[in-house]
Structure 1
Amino acid sequence: MRRIYILGLVISLLAPHSSLLEAQTVSDIIAKTPTYASCNYHVYPDSITTVLTPAPAGKKPFYISHYGRHGSRYISNRAGYETPYVMMQHADSLDELTTVGQQVLHEMNSIMHDTENRWGELTGTGKRQLENIGQRMVRNFPEVLCPGAHVKCVSTIVPRCIESMGSIAMKMLQECPTLHITMEASKRNQWYMNYQDRQLRRGYMTPEAKKAYDAYTKPRMGNSRLMEMIFKNPDIVKEFVDEEFFNYYLMKMALFQFNISYNRNPRLIKLFNTDEFYRMWQIDNALWYIQHGASTLNGGRQPYSQRYLLRQLIADADSCIRLDRPGAQLRFGHETVLLPLVCLIGVNGFDLSTSNLDDLEAKGWWCSDVFPMGSNLQFIFYRSSPKDQDVLFKVLLNEKEATLPLPTECAPYYHWNDFRQYCLNKLNDYK
């Protein structure tokens, strides 16, 4: 028995990142799926085909705890598109656009018209993402989401999150019409649903972090090839076109359109090649790590911004475990909550702590795996009966089984009491 336990422990702690397991590089993924390069603008997959590992003998699912990001949305505000758009308009007024540049400006005009006054709104694509997630949840765990089961949904007060909550709830009811679903969006839940620690946020870019980030990003910035393609005289337009900003924001504009039902195959992405998208991903991935990961460049404390949410998740689970039929608790929020929560818990090795930004890619700290539009973290709880004291659970990151930094003899399942104590110890040590 001890040999089996040790084998399970080794598998649990050393199990590689899912993408690494498939021996894919980030560049490989971007070549097949360009939106991966856009990090938090990445699009949730239309279908999930991962096979879930059967539960240990006698254990059945009885409770689901969840935190998910809203589905695909329009860009949050006009400023995200304004940067390259104004530069292009200025160049056009001076007759400095090539034929390709004129085509690009025409496409940008169409995009600006389509998105005007829809900033931050959930798109049709986003609604379908949540509907599909809800459908799969009911079909994957019918023992939990069964007739008469209670499902409590809580959202932040942001409209796209509320609509995401409604989309998943409506689909669940279509799958199982007798579910008892309640929905709530209130400021009184913001303290844990969308807590943004101002002190941690202000202090993330320390002098040491800025020095490392600047050194890492400098050779990856800019795109002279793009400038020559769009502008007749790149040297002249550089007086009012910042090459680095223009390249970065035009690339984001191109990729973001895949979140919008309009023009799902935008012509703008043809302006860029895989290497250019890849370099942008590296730049963004490093920044997300410094902002929300356990980087020693700023003290490794950024994931603790979600300490209140983690305590609430534990308290809710403890309460629900005492019930005969607890059902599910679904929470709907934002990527700036989900990413640090994943880092704080240590899902799939995202608790990586390093000062070397080159370590991120090599060790699988790939933020695009965590928080595409519609991303979610699900805790699925198992037991043999309401009297069973050895409650097991597994974590699904974007509906795929994930690892935790804990010993277990039954991976991907973990003992709830072990995880609970691990998290509480970690939270109690934070000052």
Structure 2
Amino acid sequence: MDRRAVLLSGLALAGAGLAGAGLDPSTASAAPGGPPGATPPGDPTAAPTAAPTTDPAAPGGPTLPREWLPAPTGPWPVGTLSTRLVDHARRDPYAPGQRWRELMVQAWYPAATAHGPRAAYLAPKAVAHLETGLGVPAGSLAQLRPYARTGAPPARTGCPVVLFSHGWGGGRTNATTVAEDLASHGYLVVAVDHTYDADAVEFPGGRLETSRLPAEPTAADDTLNIGVRVADLRFVADWCARWPVADVTRLGVLGHSMGGSAAADWMLRDRRVRCGVNLDGAFFGTRAPEAGLDRPFLLATADWDHDTWPLFRARHRGWGRHLVLAGSGHYSQVDPPWFVEPAGLADLWPADLFAVLFGTIAPARSSRAARTYLRAYFDLWLRGRPTDLFDGPTVGFPEVEVRWRTGRPHPAFGDGGRVAPGRRALAGRSAAADR
């Protein structure tokens, strides 16, 4: 059985996937082609509305210990909002009777205050759906507590933008730990629920749309999936372009698993995207490995090698790196390791499958490595900040191997483009510096 089959079997065992979908009560929609400078629905410079909060200690609910996600490391507090967007320019191939494509998106941004309610990790119906699929007690996942504040006003405008595309059957909250950390350093991070691909998307009013993905996808299924995802990302980037908080001239994309294929494919089709990242994803449904990319791209994976990666590396024409995190699993660089053990999955799933999915490395360690390297990468290509983290092994992260490297340093750096040590470039920042 190949690795994709193993991963899909893990998703099936989880009852259609490790995923989540938050909710904001906003019912606004966004049509493409709006007037320049228009305030998009859900713009935090207007009046951000609160995502729901779920308190596991509330009357009538289970009493469970709260599981805090790792705290953001930057100087800014973090705000978040979610909103519904409607692309009236295209039909949804997964919902033939619907005349438009409907999405939920969530944004994290540097906030002017740390006051206000903490956002819930998942919306109520999405929580119930995921807990049922995982076979864990009701209320188990309500204990997850992000740090972002709903309703917090934004601290600034003109933030560099990173869009996130989740994995097959995943959800937009899957990389909350990364999103909150980047936002605390001055980024706007916008994650997309790819409707009918995501495990569960809860829309305003409580309507829940679940995944319609095939259990055994064909090449045609993959091509359709990536095409839909790329169209979603382009639409959301257009929406961001009308938002004062966003500077889409500094635009990057981050994808996990199938989202990594979408990230590469979007870069192939859209010159606005300066740089991309693929977190542990083989390349399915995209021509990117054959065509090659000419802009910076980072592969960050567990210790395995898919047959699409050597071709991608051989055809890549820009700066590129392949980092391998020892002891990691498919989900180690995103959120699930933070809730699978509190939810009791380590005792419910076969040990070998659990290791493939979640690894043997401690979640705190894998999260620290992922957030440090991703921030350094986007700082390098969206802010022009030099670092030597990608040159080879470091004392701080001996478990990270640079398996492949190619391309010149950032043109702003001159010959070599290094600072020594690279870790100094990641420390001692002030809020004013994170621009």
TM-score normalised per structure 1: 0.29
Q: Which has the higher strand share?
A: 2
- Larger RCO (alpha carbons 8 Å, 6+ apart): 1
TM-score normalised per structure 2: 0.29
Give the greater-gyration-radius structure (CA): 1
